[in-house]
Amino acid sequence: MTDRMNSAASRDIAYHVHGYTNLKKHEQRGPMIITSGSGIRVTDDSGKSYIEGLSGLWCTSLGFQEDRLIDAATAAMKKLPYYHGFAHKTADVTIDLAEKLISIAPAPMSKVLFANSGSEANDLAIKIIWYYNNALGRPDKKKIISRNRAYHGITVATGSLTGLAPIHGDFDLPINGILHTDCPHYYRGAEDGESEEDFASRCADNLEKMILDEGPDTIAAFFAEPLMGAGGVIVPPATYFEKIQRVLKKYDVLLLADEVICGFGRTGNMWGTQTFGMKPDMLTCAKALSSAYIPIAALMVSEPIYQAMVQQSEKLGLFGHGSTYAGHPVAAAVAMETLKIYEERNIVEHVRTVSPRLQDGLRKFADHALVGEVRGLGLVGAMELVRDKDTKAPFEAKQGVGTYFQARAEEEGLIIRAIGDTIAVCPPLITVEDEIDEILGCLERALDATATWVQETA
Say yes or no: 399 and 295 in one domain. no
What letter does residue 10 receive in the DSSP assignment?
Answer: H
Say yes or no: 198 and 335 in one domain. yes
Say yes or no: 58 and 73 in one domain. no
Q: Give the per-residue pLDDT at 416.
A: 98
- Give the chain's end-to-end CA distance (angstroms, integer): 28
Say yes or no: 281 and 419 in one domain. no
DSSP secondary structure string, 208-244? HHHHHHH-GGGEEEEEE-SSB-TTT-BPPPTTHHHHH
Say yes or no: 328 and 418 in one domain. no
Residues 379 and 357: beta-carbon distance below 8 Å: no
The answer to the question of residue 15 being in a domain is: no
The CATH number of whichever domain residue 77 belongs to comes to 3.40.640.10
Q: Give the per-residue pLDDT at 139.
A: 97
Say yes or no: 324 and 376 in one domain. no
Say yes or no: 353 and 401 in one domain. yes
Say yes or no: 262 and 321 in one domain. yes
The CATH number of whichever domain residue 368 belongs to comes to 3.90.1150.10
Backbone φ/ψ region at 404: left (φ over 0), alpha (ψ -120 to 50), beta: alpha
Indicate the residue among 312, 344, 376 that finishes a domain.
344
Enter the pTM of the model: 0.95
pLDDT tens for the chain, 458 residues: list them. 444 555 899 999 999 999 999 999 999 999 999 999 999 999 999 999 999 999 999 999 999 999 999 999 999 999 999 999 999 999 999 999 999 999 999 999 999 999 999 999 999 999 999 999 999 999 999 999 999 999 999 999 999 999 999 999 999 999 999 999 999 999 999 999 999 999 999 999 999 999 999 999 999 999 999 999 999 999 999 999 999 999 999 999 999 999 999 999 999 999 999 999 999 999 999 999 999 999 999 999 999 999 999 999 999 999 999 999 999 999 999 999 999 999 999 999 999 999 999 999 999 999 999 999 999 999 999 999 999 999 999 999 999 999 999 999 999 999 999 999 999 999 999 999 999 999 999 999 999 999 999 999 97
Say yes or no: 298 and 184 in one domain. yes
The answer to the question of residue 117 being in a domain is: yes
Q: Give the per-residue pLDDT at 2.
A: 46
Indicate the residue among 344, 374, 392 that finishes a domain.
344
- CA-CA distance, 107 to 102, in Å (whole number)? 9
Say yes or no: 307 and 386 in one domain. no
Say yes or no: 154 and 256 in one domain. yes
Q: Give the per-residue pLDDT at 6.
A: 54
Say yes or no: 429 and 319 in one domain. no
Residues 124 and 131: beta-carbon distance below 8 Å: no
Structural domains of the chain, count: 2
The answer to the question of residue 132 being in a domain is: yes
The answer to the question of residue 13 being in a domain is: no
Beta-carbon count within 10 A of 23 CB: 9
